[in-house]
Amino acid sequence: MRVCPQCGRKWVEGEAFCPFDGARLRDVAAAPTLPDDPLVNRTIDGRYLLERVLGKGGMGTVYAALQTALDKRVAVKVLRPVQDDDGQAMGRFEREARSASRLGNDHIIDVFDFGKTTDGMAFLVMEMLVGEDLGDLLERHGSLPVERAMPIVLQCCEALGTAHAAGIVHRDLKPENVYLVERDGRRDFVKGVDFGLAKIHDVEQTGEGERKLTKTGMIFGTPHYMSPEQCMGKPTDHRSDIYSLGVILYELLGGEVPFDGETFMGVLNQHMVDPPPPIRELNPHAQVPLAVEAVVYRCLDKRAGNRPQSMGELADELLAALRESGYGQLARVLQASLGPIPPPSAAMALTKRKPSVRPPPKADAFAATEPVREAIDPAQVAAAQAAQAQRTPTPQPRTPTPQPRTPTPQPRTPTPQPRTPTPQPRAPRVDETERVPHARRRTRSGASSAPRSPAAWFLYGLLLLLLGGAIGYGALVFLG
């Protein structure tokens, strides 16, 4: 029994956070239940006798019932009355019936009737499943080996590929919605359940109904498995289911979900921002081939355009990773048992996607009844594990290497020195009486003068003669 610490609502199973306010539920001792459910041993719609309670969830209660006209065992899901709901729960209930009934795939639970009782309770009639959900299997084993996890995920690819081809996105993938039954001597036959939050892309969907089914204050989906675009409230397409299936595969191989936290919003923020931690970091004992781990991280890419663009493409990448890791015989058996995976509806994609490659169809998809583990070649697995061990370096303890301490250079400030003029040698004084007769005389400009030549004297005389003649001529002109 789990109880919400904020609103006080109680939940029997299958929920980690309260769908109404997002608070993490706390485990408490189960309170004594009423001796009988009021609907047990009651016949609804005159056709279905409710025998016992199979489980309870956020939307309603599932009963084991008997279809009296055909004496057939069925499961009946009765909608839990919700006050102040404005018909939204009824809309999701009808959508679950419509989306699941139109698919017709062996890996999706068959819904074949829907109606209301005379007192107004809505009910949904489904096939009776005998087995356990994947969440119970993980709780018991912690994690699964590659040989068991891969067949489960590939069957999920086939079921979801059929839904995407019909224009339906599940939007609430989690281990509790993957049911495992035994069929034709083969264990772990997958049945996808709970399409109550499915998004239907169809020309009949006007968009008004989709908006009416979104109520302020209600939180839909399980935060540990929601895609980043779903966490941000953006429009989603089939690649949101690919992200959620990648989280499930991560948990199958490592035993832990990649993102966890104490609050609803804390988990959503990790999906939007943080990269997924390596599987071996959360579980050092996990034996995961590197090629398979790479496909898991590709599914968990924050950008939808970088993920596998269809369930068929994801199945092809997983089979190729198995062959590369030495599981060739397992890949051949799974390829033979895998049915055709159609491409997603063209009207559903929000962005351009790469074309998907369909695996070849097989007439009898589940004819092989031998256990998958027997189809593995031990020699190939051992060789692959040895090669992986050589490629994976052994982690060494990180010892900090001491670094020599380099002194920080200090700026060099020159010490001011007193400026002492350098004495210049002075020429000795020469007395005028001691002058040499023919010594050069110093001029004011510092240049020395030499004795003039006869040609110079001739020029001086000629100039004086010309000057005298000019003066005489001027005097004659003035007096005359």
pLDDT tens track for 352-378 = 554 444 443 343 433 443 444 445 566
* Least confidently predicted of 43-57, 67-81, 145-159, 207-221: 207-221
Handedness of CA 127, 190, 60, 228 (dihedral sign): negative
In this prediction, residue 323 carries a pLDDT of 96
- Cα–Cα distance, 167 to 61 (Å, whole number): 28
Q: Could you give the percent of the chain with pLDDT greater than 70?
A: 64
Cβ–Cβ under 8 Å, residues 41 and 65 = no
Q: How confident is the model at residue 291 (pLDDT cuts 50, 70, 90)?
A: very high
**Mean pLDDT across 299-307:** 95
Query: In whole angstroms, what is the distance from residue 231 CA to residue 240 CA?
Result: 10
Per-residue pLDDT at 399: 56
Helix/strand/coil for 36: coil
Query: Are 91 and 212 a contacting pair, CB within 8 Å?
Result: yes
3-state secondary structure of 62: strand
Active-site choice (37, 45, 172, 301): 172
Q: What is the pLDDT of residue 137?
A: 93
pLDDT tens by residue, 12-42: 655 667 766 666 676 665 444 444 678 899 9
pTM of the model: 0.66
Q: What is the mean pLDDT of residues 60-87?
A: 81
Q: Is residue 259 scored above 90 in pLDDT?
A: yes
Summarize pLDDT for 415-449 with one digit per residue, the tens.
555 555 555 555 445 444 444 444 444 444 444 44
**CA 412 – CA 228 distance, rounded (Å):** 57
Mean pLDDT for the chain? Answer: 76
Our answer to whether residue 377 is catalytic in this structure is: no
Q: What is the pLDDT of residues 210-230, one digit of tens each?
A: 433 333 334 456 889 999 999
pLDDT category of residue 278 using cuts at 50, 70 and 90? very high
- CA separation for the pair 414, 357 (Å, rounded): 77
